[in-house]
Amino acid sequence: MAKVKTAYFCQNCGHEAPKWLGRCPSCSEWNTFVEEVITKGKKEVTVFSKSSKRTSKPQAIHEIEEIPQQRLQMVDRELNRVLGDGLVPGSLTLFGGEPGIGKSTLMLQMAMQETKHKILYVSGEESDQQIKMRASRIGELNENCFLLTETQLESIFKHAENLQPTMLVIDSIQTIHSENIESSPGSISQIRECTAQLLRFAKQTETPVFLIGHITKEGSLAGPKVLEHMVDTVLQFEGDRNHVYRLLRSIKNRFGSTNELGIYEMLGNGLRQVDNPSEILISNNQDDLSGSAIAATLEGLRPMLIEVQALVSTAAYGTPQRSATGFDLRRLNMLLAVMEKRCGFKLGAKDVFLNIAGGIKVSDPGIDLAVVASILSSNADIAIKKNISLSAEVGLSGEIRPVNRVDQRISEAEKLGFDKIIISKDNKGIKQSDFKIEIVGCSRIEEVLRELFG
What 3-state DSSP class applies to 167?
strand
Based on its alpha-carbon atoms, the radius of gyration of the chain, rounded to whole angstroms, reads: 26
What 3-state DSSP class applies to 193?
helix
Strands, DSSP E only, in 209-360? 209-213, 233-238, 245-253, 261-267, 270-273, 292-299, 302-314, 322-325, 350-356
- Known binding residue 68? Answer is no
- Known binding residue 398? Answer is no
The helix (run of H) or strand (run of E) holding residue 81 is: helix 77-83
- Known binding residue 104? Answer is yes
- Known binding residue 344? Answer is no
Nearest CA to 242 out of 375, 98, 127, 391 is that of 98
Determine the Cα–Cα distance for residues 98 and 243; give it in Å rounded to an integer. 14
Burial of 409: CB neighbours in 10 Å, binned 0-12, 13-18, 19+: buried
Determine the Cα–Cα distance for residues 395 and 381; give it in Å rounded to an integer. 25
Cβ atoms within 10 A of the Cβ of 151, count? Answer: 14
User: What backbone phi and psi angles, to 5 degrees, belong to 132?
Assistant: -65, -40
Calculate the alpha carbon distances from 42 to 15, 209, 230, 261 in Å.
Answer: 22, 27, 23, 44
The set of residues, in sequence order, having a beta carbon less than 8 Å from that of 201 and lying 6+ positions away, is 46, 48, 157, 160, 168, 207, 209
Determine the Cα–Cα distance for residues 304 and 295; give it in Å rounded to an integer. 8
Beta bridge partners of 235: 95, 250
- Known binding residue 86? Answer is no
Determine the Cα–Cα distance for residues 449 and 427; give it in Å rounded to an integer. 19
- Known binding residue 99? Answer is yes
Show binding-site residues: 97-104
Show binding-site residues for ATP: 97-104
